[in-house]
Structures are given as structure tokens and as C-alpha cells.
Amino acid sequence: MSEPLHVFVYGTLRRGEANDINRLLPAPRLLGLARIRGTLYDLGPYPGVVLGGEGWVQGEVYAISAELERQLDLIEEVAPVPSGEYMRRHLDVDLAGQSLHCLVYEIAAERVQGRPPIASGDWRQRR
């Protein structure tokens, strides 16, 4: 059996949001709340994160299967033909004080030009 994959979700894939990852199959396993360094931007119906900097972006980490990872690539339009909006990144996230290597979908920087940052770094607190 292969080692589980991990994904950090920060927007509409979070629990209770429009694309809640928990509605996908095979079911992911929530590992907990986490955070990454970056700036979260409000793009209207969904957010985008630009990685790096001093700010923190809040989200959730899930253990996922390779099959579910392929579904996420379709949702984020990085496969089969990339739209250019999001890019796959792999980085360490802070999960309750522990570092865990995760897949993160980063927005292309040019897509957030003129868009407001979400000061809290939390998509759920934008309202």
C-alpha cells in the first residue's frame, strides 16, 4: 500500500463550502486545521493564495488517495489541460505545530491583480 498523499485546502474545498472535499470519493480523511505562509485573495465566489511572505493562510489538511488527487486537479483546472489559473505546489504546512508535506493549489499572481486580500487569511471569515 502506498504512503498517503496530503492536501491543504483553504477555500471552497473546506468543510461546509461550495466544493466541500468531504463530498468527493474516495473519501478523504481530515487530519486537522493547518496554516501556510501566503496572502489569500477574494476572487468573488472563490479565493486564491499567493504563497510566501509574512502572512498566514488558514485551512484544513486531508489525507487523500491518488484517485482523489486527480479529481482535485480537475476541479482546480490543472489537468488534463491547465487553465493557467492555479498551479500545483508541494510544500510543508504547519499542522498543529508539526510540519507536513502537502499539495497546495496556488493562484497565478496575475489573476489577483486588483483583487482585495483577505486580511484574516481565512476564507470563512471573509463574510
Give the catalytic positions in this structure: 76
Is the Cβ–Cβ distance between 11 and 42 less than 8 Å?
Answer: no
Residue 61 CA to residue 92 CA, distance in Å, equals 11
Nearest to 55 by CA among 125, 116, 118: 118
> Given CA atoms 48, 123, 35, 71 in this order, what sign does their dihedral have?
negative
Q: In b/e form, how buried is each residue of 52-80, taking b as 16+ CB within 10 angstroms? A: eeebbbbbbbbbbbeebbebbbeebebee
> Which grid coordinates belong to 6?
496530503
